[in-house]
Copies of this chain bind each other. A is one copy, B any other.
Amino acid sequence: MAQPKKTLSPPGTDLIRRELRELERILREQSRSEVRLLMEVADHILESGGKRFRPAVLLLSAKLCGYSGPRAVAYAAAVEYAHTSTLLHDDVVDEALTRRGRPSANGIWGNQASVLVGDYLLFRAFYLLIENEDPRIMKLVNSVATQMAEGEAFQLTRKRNVKLSEAEYFRIITDKTAKLISISCRIGAILGRATAKREHALGEYGFHLGLAFQLKDDALDYAGDERAWGKKVGQDFSEGKMTLPLIWAFRNSSAADRKKLARLLAKPKRKAGDFKTALAFILRHGGLDYALAKARSHAGRAKAQLQVFPDSPPKQALLDLADFVVARSV
């Protein structure tokens, strides 16, 4: 498996370079299987441009709380496996043929392989969790994994529903993104035996960071620079997913405009021209500005949580990370 192609650019990466290298080794080693199909698909998805975002926040959180031992990397690998497993299963759910600008696993090997390799990686995540024998961390991860499945199922039932509310949208991105990033931070705090207050603050940091991350991601899906971003814009739109830019624009348009848009969204197959129409509609109503303002606001709330910690390089890295998440074009 090659190194991931896109790595985090903020200064934080320097502090955990050794751990990120060790992480790649563990990810590669633990996904080895005698069944070639499993290894091929696992390698494909693990090396397809993942930013190792969740491992990075876990490792920096552990460092912030004074822990630099080997268990942090093991838990970082578990969290990355769990995340990768959901990507594979989501691609089946979304019927996505590309992921991060490359053909998705189910685009190449079919739904079957995506399901089985997703399961396989999930069991590798649990293997690392069980081996490291912390019942609290196991419960946290399993509970969040359950909520992720529930969030994804909820999103599925709301697909192509133009009436998805902002509150429902936030429920979806909370379940599918913010919670896993939040517990990644909390695992770091638990490893560092942080006080309950600090663990809570890190959990809230991760929660708001996760929301900012997903809000920005969903905005990039409309306004990303395809060359820098490395993936095609308009994927959410073509899958019929309502995200905040569209929700906002829809809510703030005239009844006639709403009707026109609803018709566009009801089409089973959407074309490039449809996307351009929707994007123009969003821009006219300030949907992107609104979503990006929300992203900045959550990044700010994330940073505010770190006040309970004295200044240190890992704290600065986490602060920078929150800025990076909303400033990034990738």
Contacts and interface: CB of A to CB of B under 8 A. Distances in A.
A157 B116 CA distance: 12
Sorted nearest first, the 8 A-B pairs with minimum C-beta distance are A123-B146, A93-B112, A120-B149, A119-B149, A116-B153, A35-B153, A126-B142, A35-B150
A36 B150 CA distance: 10
Number of copies of this protein chain within its complex = 2
A154 B34 CA distance: 9
Interface residues of A, number: 40
A139 to B, nearest CB: 6
Given A89-B115, A116-B149, 15 more contacts: A35-B150, A35-B154, A37-B154, A37-B156, A38-B150, A111-B111, A113-B156, A116-B153, A119-B149, A122-B122, A126-B145, A127-B143, A130-B135, A130-B139, A133-B135
Given A127-B142, A133-B135, A142-B130, A153 B93 contact: no
A253 B66 CA distance: 70
Contacts of A123: 142, 145-146, 149
A157 B120 contact: no
Interface string A123-158: 110110010010100110011011001101110110
A135 B132 CA distance: 10
Interface string A87-119: 001001101000000000000000111011111
A142 to B, nearest CB: 5
A112 B33 CA distance: 26
Interface of A: 33-38, 89, 92-93, 95, 111-113, 115-120, 122-124, 126-127, 130, 133, 135, 138-139, 142-143, 145-146, 149-150, 152-154, 156-157
B115 A93 contact: yes
A241 to B, nearest CB: 13
- Most chain-B CB neighbours within 10 Å: which of A89, A116, A143, A154? A116
A171 to B, nearest CB: 10
Contacts of A149: 38, 116-117, 119-120, 123
Contacts of A142: 123, 126-127, 130
Contacts of A34: 150
A117 B92 CA distance: 13
A220 B113 CA distance: 28
A130 B138 contact: yes
A115 B122 CA distance: 13
B37 A157 contact: yes
Given A142-B127, A149-B123, A116 B93 contact: yes
B116 A89 contact: yes
6 contacts: A92-B92, A112-B156, A116-B152, A127-B142, A127-B146, A133-B135
Contacts of A116: 89, 93, 149, 152-153, 156
A45 to B, nearest CB: 14
A253 to B, nearest CB: 30
A131 to B, nearest CB: 8
